């Protein structure tokens, strides 16, 4: 069942005009993809098993979607894999969206090399070997014999190989678009993502960013009786104080004249600590405890693995935040009365047009 769900999320079929309910989609796609170019798009972050690859959503505002990163500190990571249902057997031209991440410094060696395996067989092309910018690397042609196909990303180096997406096109002349708005249209149509964000409710208080600031704000507001939305772009809460970054939590809390200020921090604080280095292990950060505390609050709706990347404003006032789900690309509209920007980067403020200066 999980595999089927993943399939639904990652695979797209551009169908023949004989499928009436999909006509509208085909029309939408016309600027991006000719109707003849039956294609299957698979977003890397939608792979059902990610193996040792990690999802990096940091640049999805620029790229439109996250990508998978082989962060192995020099040891190749385990394969990411997924199954995809093709519309038909036949010959397909393969494109892999990637880059050589050291090319911008003219550094040799292409350390982020990886292979795409189709039903266990690697393409002849090694991916991640060309181009300083994200681009569709031509992977040549493959013959698909059966509609159900297993794909895998096979890391060769353990040094930050990057894969954004894989596309199989029936039309050998078709080159996938590499820039928005065409690329966004391709993704939307291929993955069946609605053009408008889906309504996800109205809240008293919408918190963007689930680091310690956002988690405390959400817990506090919920306990005071507000209906709260907490939007966090990672699979865990805590931000810098999560197992992902590993900065421990402590501070001058519960001091006069505000003796209760810090009660929630105390609930979140982890008793065991280690200084930076090998003893600073992931378990010390008790990610599960933070998630359990938030999930125990009936007044909080947690939008985990959602990135706030648009706002709706009227007369200079924020009405709603739009958040994009990391793995599927689906977008939700989260409306509210009050908003807290706890992204650590003032992301919501910047999106809303607040004055912004960035200093090195």
Ligand X SMILES: Cc1cc2nc3c(=O)[nH]c(=O)nc-3n(C[C@H](O)[C@H](O)[C@H](O)COP(=O)(O)OP(=O)(O)OC[C@H]3O[C@@H](n4cnc5c(N)ncnc54)[C@H](O)[C@@H]3O)c2cc1C
By CB under 6 A, is residue 310 in contact with ligand X? no
Comparison of 86 and 285: residue with beta carbon closer to ligand X: 285
Select the span of 45-53, 145-153, 229-237, 289-297 touching ligand X (CB under 6 A). Answer: 229-237
Q: Which residue in the set 128, 210, 329, 336 belongs to the binding site for ligand X (CB under 6 A)?
A: 210
Q: Which of 110, 326, 347, 352 binds ligand X (CB under 6 A)?
A: 347
38 binds ligand X (CB under 6 A): no
Contact between 115 and ligand X per CB under 6 A: no
46 binds ligand X (CB under 6 A): no
Nearest residue (CB) to ligand X, 157 versus 328:
328
346 binding ligand X? (CB under 6 A): no
Q: Closer to ligand X at the Cβ: 78 or 319?
A: 319
Q: With b meaning 16 or more CB within 10 Å and e meaning fewer, what string describes 312-347?
A: beeeeebebbbbbbbbbbbbbbbbbeebbbbbeeeb
Instruction: Rule CB under 6 A: choose which of 259, 344, 353, 354 binds ligand X.
Output: 344
Residues 113 and 70 sit within 8 Å (Cβ to Cβ): no
Nearer to ligand X, 101 or 303 (CB): 303
Backbone CA torsion sign across 226, 232, 235, 236: negative
Cα–Cα distance, 268 to 239 (Å, whole number): 13
Q: Is 232 in the site for ligand X (CB under 6 A)?
A: yes
> Does 341 help bind ligand X (rule: CB under 6 A)?
no
The region, left, alpha or beta by phi > 0 then psi within -120 to 50, assigned to residue 178 is: alpha
Q: List binders of ligand X among 236-265 (CB under 6 A).
A: 239-241, 247
Q: Which position among 187, 301, 307, 331 is part of the footprint of ligand X (CB under 6 A)? A: 307
Per rule CB under 6 A, is residue 284 in the interface with ligand X?
Answer: no
Question: Considering the complex, what minimum distance in angstroms separates the CB of residue 192 from ligand X?
Answer: 23
One of 201, 345, 353, 354 touching ligand X (CB under 6 A):
345
Among 294, 320, 343, 352, binds ligand X (CB under 6 A): 343
Cα distance between residue 15 and residue 39, in whole Å: 9
Name the token pair of 152: 């895998």
| Shortest spacing between CB 55 and ligand X, in angstroms | 12
For residue 98, with 0-12 CB atoms within 10 Å meaning exposed, 13-18 middle and 19 or more buried, which class applies?
buried
Cβ burial, residue 76 (10 Å; 0-12/13-18/19+): middle
Whether residue 166 contacts residue 96, with contact meaning beta carbons closer than 8 Å, is answered with yes
Q: Which two tokens stand for residue 337?
A: 């009365």
Among 41, 81, 191, 231, binds ligand X (CB under 6 A): 231
Among 214, 219, 301, 331, binds ligand X (CB under 6 A): 214
Neighbours of 61 (CB within 10 A): 14
3-state secondary structure at position 245: coil
- Minimal distance, residue 324 CB to ligand X, in Å: 9
Distance CA 311, CA 333 (A): 9
In whole angstroms, give the CA distance from residue 81 to residue 72: 17
Which one, 175 or 250, has the nearer CB to ligand X?
250
What are the residues binding ligand X (CB under 6 A)? 208-214, 231-234, 239-241, 247, 307-308, 342-345, 347
């Amino acid at each position: 069942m999980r595999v089927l769900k993943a399939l639904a999320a990652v695979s797209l079929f551009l169908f023949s005009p004989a499928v009436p309910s999909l006509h509208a989609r085909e029309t939408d796609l016309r600027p991006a993809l000719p109707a003849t170019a039956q294609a299957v798009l698979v977003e890397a972050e939608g792979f059902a098993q990610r193996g040792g690859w990690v999802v990096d959503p940091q640049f999805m505002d620029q790229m439109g979607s996250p990508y998978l990163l082989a962060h192995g500190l020099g040891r190749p990571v385990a394969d990411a894999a997924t199954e995809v249902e093709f519309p038909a057997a036949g010959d397909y031209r393969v494109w892999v969206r990637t880059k050589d991440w050291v090319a911008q410094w003219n550094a040799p060696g292409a350390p982020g090399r990886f292979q795409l395996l189709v039903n266990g067989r690697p393409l002849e092309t090694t991916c991640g070997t060309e181009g300083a910018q994200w681009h569709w690397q031509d992977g040549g042609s493959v013959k698909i014999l059966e509609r159900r196909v297993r794909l895998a990303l096979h890391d060769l180096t353990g040094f930050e190989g990057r894969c954004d997406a894989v596309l199989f096109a029936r039309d050998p002349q078709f080159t996938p678009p590499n820039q928005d708005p065409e690329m966004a249209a391709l993704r939307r149509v291929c993955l069946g993502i609605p053009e408008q964000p889906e309504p996800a409710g109205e809240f008293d208080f919408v918190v963007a960013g689930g680091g310690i600031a956002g988690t405390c704000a959400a817990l506090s507001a919920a306990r005071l009786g507000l209906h709260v939305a907490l939007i966090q772009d990672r699979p865990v809460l805590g931000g810098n104080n999560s197992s992902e970054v590993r900065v421990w939590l402590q501070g001058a809390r519960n001091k006069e004249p505000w003796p209760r200020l810090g009660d929630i921090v105390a609930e979140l604080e982890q008793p065991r600590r280690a200084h930076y280095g090998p003893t600073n292990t992931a378990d010390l950060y008790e990610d599960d405890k933070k998630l359990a505390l938030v999930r125990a609050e009936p007044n909080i709706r947690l939008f985990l693995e959602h990135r706030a990347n648009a706002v709706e404003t009227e007369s200079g006032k924020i009405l709603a935040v739009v958040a994009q789900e990391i793995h599927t690309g689906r977008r939700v509209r989260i409306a509210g009365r009050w908003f807290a920007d706890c992204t650590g980067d003032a992301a919501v403020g910047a999106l809303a047009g607040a004055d912004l200066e960035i200093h090195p």
